[in-house]
Structure 1
Amino acid sequence: MALLKKLFRNKWVKWAFIGFTSVLLFFVGLYISIYLGAFGKVPTSAELSFIKQEEATQVLDQEGKLIGKYYVYDRQPLQFEDLPKHLIDALVATEDVRFFEHDGIDNVSLMRVFVKSILLQDKSAGGGSTVTLQLAKNLYGRNNYRFFSMVINKFRESIIAKRIETIYSKHEILTMYFNTVPFSDNTYGIESAARKFFNKPAIELSIDEAATLVGSLKANNYYNPRLHPERSLNRRNVVLNQMVKYGNMPQDSAKVYADKPLGLDYKSFNHDVGIAPYFRAQVKKELAVILDSIKKPNGEAYDLYRDGLIVHTTLDIGMQKMAEEAMKEHLTTLQKSFEHSYGSAAPWQKNKKLIEATLKKLPQYKLYKEAGLTEAQIKDSLSIIRDTEWFAWEGDTIKKASVIDSLQHYLKFLNTGILSIAPKTGAIKAYIGGIDYRYFKYDHVSQSERQVGSTFKPFVYTAAIENGMKPCTYFSLAEVTYSNFNNWTPSNSGGENEDPHLNYNLEMALSNSVNTIAVKVLNEVGIPKVLQQAKRIGINKELPSLPSIALGVAEINLKELTGAYASYVNDSKPVKPYAITKVTDRNGKVLGAFKPEVSEPAFKDYTRQVMLEIMQSTVNKGTASRLRSTYGLNNDIAGKTGTTQDNKDGWFVGITPKLVTVTWVGNDNQAIGFRTTGLGQGANSALPIFAKFYSKLNKDSEYNDITKSRFERPSDQVASDLDCNEEKRDGFLKRIFSGKKKKRKFKGDKK
């Protein structure tokens, strides 16, 4: 006692003691105030018992395979049984070796941190944080208190961690930790990280893969295995050594794993990239409508991004991948030919009116205009050079470019819309709305309406046969001028070289897509009956009552067109393509189930069989014959090519017994078409996508049920009615007394 009195007479000791006591009292008071909620409410034990984690909504294909997710935080929760033991070993060995011994706070580690880090300034001492403390931070985040933020947050987390340890078992804490911990690339939870970086569920992670992901937790951007593979690999090996150090793995095994490459199989679930982005965007729109009519038991609305819904769809992920590959393979080549055909006369470079008109539609231009800038000032602003990411089929690049440069760059690209459905139900199997969702958000399957060209002709012929015209009815190839429609004279691509005295039957005319005969068939059956037939077959848009409708001047949505063509292999019934089969909550409770819409037959079975036989001729010896000659497809296929005026749009419809596919190719700006018909015709621009797609299906035995399916044999009546010469010439007298061109009035209103 005397010694203490003597010490306290020393003013330095006295002030040191007072200072130490004051600091201690300050921190004790701070801790108590945090405990009592002075810096914000600390969750109680009761509240912690009902921890609710935000979960991403998952979109699954027809077999339950993950296609994509909608999320604020990319998170997919697991049960403890789904966590492999070596994953837990890696975490504990690296982040919290006394996890199974402490009560949320590791006092031994804290003492080490105090002595080594604070007193001895040893930066290798670690941070003293435990898995439970990290879980508290993951669950409730940190606030900015301006002064003493770190201390306040640490105290708050320690209180929460202590409470968590009294409520949950160690296994439950590990499970919650792995479900909430942030990994690289804005990914939350081990299941999402495993699927993103290694394209597999967490339970299937190998030891080295688990070590890679656990290693990234130290600094998820710095050790991002996608961005910094060398750092990530070195960090992975540190984790492996930690596992050896604490007896989780022998040294020899660690050496084997340390010699392996990272082996990433990266699969992004970003909304703009990954598999089927246009499909996922469309599903999201449809989900928004569905969820508007469904409420939680407590009356609240479901949150698409936070409530962990499961969306089951019709998509076949394997088929989707093949379709995307086929599209890229063909358009990479076609784009080069397209640009080469224009050479130095490319409209996206030389057509100033086109460029200026497109420029004025840009959001940036409109903002500058609203701000009162002059045309010269706007052009100056849009001419500023900056680093810009450019899409290219060979690979994206960073260019020094202005907004005007970018506009001209993107103006040149051909785009596409592709849809494959099961014709009996309308279930969507493959869906491509454009060439790259990051740069071209417009969906050419669900949003676009383009002129359909000759793909409308089968509807004209269907109406004719349905109204009694026989398949062996003959029509002359000769051009006719329709005087009551502004002397309109439809012509064929063969032009003047065609024999006006040659006559084709319906099969020959349609399989070779003869324009003059399509209009004559329309004239014979009448425009009203054709429009009625189109309506019954599923074309709901108001179509123009004009003779040019026979040549496909109407702009029709690709999805409607696909559903209409399904009728030829679905007992004459059109279908409505659909994507969602079921939506459940996170616990599997069904919130909504959806079945295909059932339609009435649009025409007689006789008509259907005749049309199917005719469209098979299109593939076997007509405008789509390159499916056989060039691509060597031997499947049962019916089809129809289509090309619009000035080669603006190329189409192909491929019909097989169990799959109907429609492909469209064109430029988004309808002022830009193909330079030549040879390049832009549907047989060259759109058909090859179907051909490459189906070739890939043929090579995969999983799709034998589709690729080896066969059309039914036509009835004896149909076979008999089609049994005639495809063509015949006018007799001698008729050739003498008939002119090359005729004038007649089209059945309909005078124009």
Structure 2
Amino acid sequence: MSKRTLRILTLTLWVLFIGSAVSITALFYMVQNDTNGWFGGLPSLEDLEKPDPELSSELLSADGELLGKYYRHNRTPVSYDELSAQLVNTLLVTEDIRFKKHSGIDLKGLLRAVFGKLTFQFKGGGSTITMQLAENLYKTSSANRGTLYDYPSVGQIITKLKEWIIAIQLEKSYTKEEILAMYLNTVEYGSNSYGIQVAAQTFFNKKPSQLTYPEAAVLIGAINAPTRYSPILNPDKAMAKRTEVLYNLHKYGLVSRQEFDSLKQTDFGLEYKVENHNEGLAPYFRKVIARYLLQWTKEHGYDLYEDGLKIYTTIDSRLQTYAEQAMEEHMDTLQAQFNAHWGDDNPWIDEEGNEIVGFLDKAIKRTHHYKSLVKTYGEESDSVELILNRKRQMRVFTWDGEVDTLMSSYDSLKHYKRFLQAGFMAMDPQTGHIKAWVGGINHKYFKYDHVKQGKRQPGSTLKPIVYTAAIDNDFSPCYPVVDAPVTFPRPGQDPPTWTPDNASGRFTGEVMTIRQAMARSVNSITAFMMKQLKPETVVEYAKRLGIESHLDAVPALSLGAGGDVSLYELVAAYSTFVNKGVYTKPFYISRIEDQNGNVIQQFVPETREALNEETAYIMLHMLKGTTEEVGGTGMALDRELRVDNEIAAKTGTTQNASDGWFMGVTKDIAAGAWVGGDERSIHFKHWYLGQGARTAMPIWERFMKKVYADPTLGFTKGPFAKPVKPISIELDCEKYNNFSQPSDSVRMELIDEDEIM
């Protein structure tokens, strides 16, 4: 080559270089100062200095355990210090080996990429980790597109220019370590895992700090194509990609050839589990509280699903675990008894005990599936019934685990309607903190919450409110009453009177104290007290004790038949007795922090004085009768719980045993359980099999035994705290326990007198 030719070539190269530099500089300026809308905007300096990726909000227990998350993309950030060295090395050799040497733009890598495209020998992209981070954070290829993006090739160049500009700014604002962590936090890895923290947990049940080279190679290999290189969906491709990544570690001297040969022979070592809203502790609680949090975030200018809030709850993960275990253990056994009891017969029956005709036909019309079919085909179309009766593969819930089977929609509905449902809640009666919340038997298959969302007739669990009104109106626990019929007039109705029966179906004529009567849940004596007090008075006391649901001021309220209430309301009402008469609205959030740990709001419970301290203590004494008096409905509680302990409790069972309840209070915990069918017509044939002492009380019993067996909780047996002032009435009814029973003539006089009251 002649000197003249060499000079011309050198000059040409300099002209091209200077021209390119000037062009790129001009383009940089034009992109940054785009007043015509050709290029689309760039993030503001404030946005560049404080990037804001979508972050999952976390729900935490009182003892610091993660209960669950709220997210559109499941992402939890980690810092550089929480990354293993193997993970960092694997990322660098795969995505950007010169990351620590450049300032956001790798000219060597860029020229390699351009040359590869021109020669059709592509050997990797020119985007650095910082440029990829710019795309992840600010969506440079899809957001803020100007008019020049109508020309695809031009749009690609503009996108790269934007990424260069943003990358340079990121490198000025953050350390290399911070950029690496931010990048790993923003990447998608597949299986609804966004960010390395969630990915490590999803695929390997590990923290990012624990990831090894083979594990890191799987995750880093999936970055650019998480579906194609998924070890779950495409294991062969994922294995080949992992081998390629591991080879890069050898290529750049981080592992020897022998180590590479050994590592590539290992299997994936997966412990795969995708996070979802049905998994983890307290799924019903998480769903119910989400409604409140959505409203709160809307009012305070936050997004629950992407602002990375930390919501600290009052739930104790250990108590929640014991509550879920107690329910599962008992309901598994109870369902087996229910199934054996009914055999091949259907458990939906009317008041005469006959199967309800057309029950499933009516029930299926309330389902989303039916409504969707009607919307598609029309209500009169034969296609609706054909599809509902067509058998198909489905996975169904059983207490022995999920089962794959062939069922039609009608078969499935019948299968699920046969299950008994349940709810359980426990709270600290002094603070109002909810400690455990189990809204149902399985959140994946039964979404309806039976703690707060569900409301049913409370049965005899409402009787203590009748007796609270009595005590507060100068009746003594030792007040004697005859077990005899009590009749209420019903003007203008047919029949014109109402006389409630006892559960036994008979009246003994026995005289007993009202403590004994409440302990045995004698209907006639509660009705007698209702007649003295009037229904309006009882409704007033129910409201004092936190029953917000509507109650009818009718005589039947004495038996808990005047309206539906929630377990949430009843547990709070019973807590008032042990909290010295102060009602505390059940309380489930202690504070909310932003993603930087700043406290946004501290929450305090709502309280009010509902009863005086003496009345509250006397009611504890009354309720203790359930586990102390002969014939008390709580005497079946395990003796291990009752020894050296004071338990204030009440069972409850509604008509036909549609609902079974148990409320139990100790000095430290107030808790309650409800058990019943999905609909009121679903229940045991015989009342005594479905009574609360058999269906609901065992859940409370199992829970409390687990609680007392765990010394880390600090809950101990013992007596209720007595009021500071001496009790003004006599509580020892021993001398009244052997009432002289009235003669038949006197008994008839009492009954006759009662009927005309």
The Cα of 1:659 is off from its aligned counterpart by 1.2
Partner of 1:139: 137
Match of 2:520 in 1: 512
Which of 348, 361, 369 is the aligned partner of 2:366?
361
Matched, 1:545 2:553: yes
> Which of 510, 534, 539 does residue 502 from structure 1 map onto?
510
Partner of 1:395: 401
Amino acid at match of 1:139: L
Q: Which residue of the partner structure matches residue 693 of structure 1?
A: 703
Name the CA shift for 1:46/1:600 in 2 (closer, same or farther; >3 Å).
closer
CA distance in 2, matches of 1:743, 1:228: 83
Q: 1:450 to 1:44 in 2, by over 3 A?
A: closer
Picking from 712, 727, 735, the partner of 2:744 is 735
Per the TM alignment, residue 69 of structure 1 is displaced from its structure 2 partner at its CA by: 1.9
Secondary structure at 2:591 match in 1:
strand
Q: Give SS of 2:55's match.
A: coil
Aligned to 2:682: 672
Shift, 1:551, TM fit: 1.0
Letter in 1 for 2:137: L
Instruction: Give me the TM-score of the superposition, normalised by structure 2.
Output: 0.82
1:556 has 2:565 as partner: yes
Match of 2:530 in 1: 522
Equivalent positions of 1:283-432 (< 5 A) are 283-294=289-300, 301-347=301-347, 351-369=356-374, 372-374=378-380, 376-432=382-438
Correspondence for 2:599: 590
Is 1:65 aligned to 2:65, yes or no? yes
Contact 2:450 2:567 in 1 (8 A): yes
Per mean C-alpha deviation after superposition, the further-off stretch among 567-576 and 142-151 is: 142-151
Paired residue secondary structure (2:498): coil
Kindly, what percent of the aligned residue pairs are identical?
36
**In the alignment, what sits opposite 2:574?**
565
Question: Which stretch shows the higher mean deviation, 543-552 or 196-205?
Answer: 196-205
Per-residue deviation, 1:180:
0.6
Mapped partners of 2:302, 2:247: distance in 1: 46
Shift of 1:655: 0.6
How far apart, CA to CA, are the structure 2 residues paired with 1:340 and 1:115? Answer: 76
Supply the distance in 2 between the matched residues of 1:414 and 1:65 (Cα, whole angstroms): 30
Q: 1:39/1:722 Cα in 2 relative to 1: closer, same or farther (>3 Å)?
A: same
Give unmatched runs, 5+ long, in structure 1: 6-20, 295-300
Alpha carbons 1:578, 1:596 under 8 Å: kept: yes
Q: Distance in 2 between matches of 1:687 and 1:238?
A: 60
The alpha-carbon deviation at position 421 of structure 1 amounts to 1.1
For the Cα contact (< 8 Å) 1:421–1:659, is it kept in 2? yes
Amino acid at match of 1:332: D
CA distance in 1, matches of 2:257, 2:732: 81
Partner amino acid, structure 2, of 1:459: I
Match of 1:438 among 444, 454, 462: 444
Match of 2:734 in 1: 723
- Please give the alpha-carbon distance, in whole angstroms, between the structure 2 residues aligned to 1:205 and 1:728: 76
Query: Within 1, Cα distance between the matches of 2:526 and 2:221?
Result: 68
SS at match of 1:77: coil
Residues 591 and 116 of structure 1: CA distance in aligned 2, closer, same or farther (over 3 Å) = closer
Residue aligned with 1:72, SS? coil
**1:576 equivalent in structure 2:** 585
Q: Give 2:698's aligned amino acid.
A: P
Cα distance between partner residues in 2 of 1:690 and 1:251: 61
State the Cα RMSD in Å. Answer: 4.1
- Counterpart Cα distance in 2 of 1:145 and 1:348: 64
SS of 1:262 mapped into structure 2: coil
8 Å CA contact 2:638–2:701 kept in 1: the answer is no
Q: Give the distance between the partners of 1:88 and 1:494, measured in 2 at CA.
A: 73
AA of the residue aligned to 1:137: E
State the one-letter code of the partner of 1:565: Y
Query: Which consecutive residues of structure 2, in runs of 5 or more, have no partner in the other structure?
Result: 6-15, 143-148, 350-354
Alignment correspondent of 1:11: none
What is the CA deviation profile of residues 254-300 of structure 1, one whole-angstrom value per residue up to 9, with x for unaligned ones?
A: 979987983738472x3343322222222222223333443xxxxxx
SS at match of 1:446: coil
- Supply the AA of the counterpart residue of 1:557: S
How many angstroms apart in 2 are the aligned matches of 1:741 and 1:261?
A: 82
Aligned counterpart, 1:75: 75
1:361 partner letter? R
Distance (Å, rounded) in 2 between the aligned partners of 1:214 and 1:718? 75
Q: What's the CA shift for 1:635? A: 4.7
Structure 2 Cα separation of the partners of residues 746 and 196 of structure 1: 70
Q: 1:629 Cα shift?
A: 4.5
Deviations 1:199-244 (A, max 9, x none): 6654566777656644553643455567788987897787667556
Q: Find the counterpart in structure 2 of residue 493 from structure 1.
A: 503
Query: Paired residue for 1:475?
Result: 481
- Tell me the TM-score normalised to structure 1 length: 0.82
Residue 633 of structure 2 corresponds to 623
Q: Judge conservation of contact 2:71–2:306 (CA < 8 Å) in 1.
A: yes
**Rounded Cα–Cα distance in structure 1 between residues aligned with 2:95 and 2:481:** 83
Question: Could you report, residue by residue, the CA deviation over 1:508-564 in whole angstroms, capped at 9, with x for unpaired residues?
Answer: 221221222221222233333322222222223342222221111131122211111
Picking from 441, 458, 462, the partner of 2:468 is 462
- 2:470–2:529 contact (8 Å) kept in structure 1: yes
**2:720 is the alignment partner of 1:711:** yes
The CA distance in 2 between the partners of 1:693 and 1:523, in whole Å, is 37
Distance 1:221 1:634, change over 3 A: farther
Residues 78, 569 of structure 1: alpha-carbon distance in 2 compared, 3 angstrom cutoff: same
- Spell out the pairing of 1:22-171 with structure 2 (5 A cutoff): 36=31, 40-41=40-41, 48-104=48-104, 130-141=128-139, 142-143=141-142, 157=163, 160-161=166-167, 164-165=170-171, 168-171=174-177
How many residues matched? Answer: 713
Q: Deviations over 1:408-457 (max 9, x none)?
A: 22222222222111111211111122223333332222222210011011
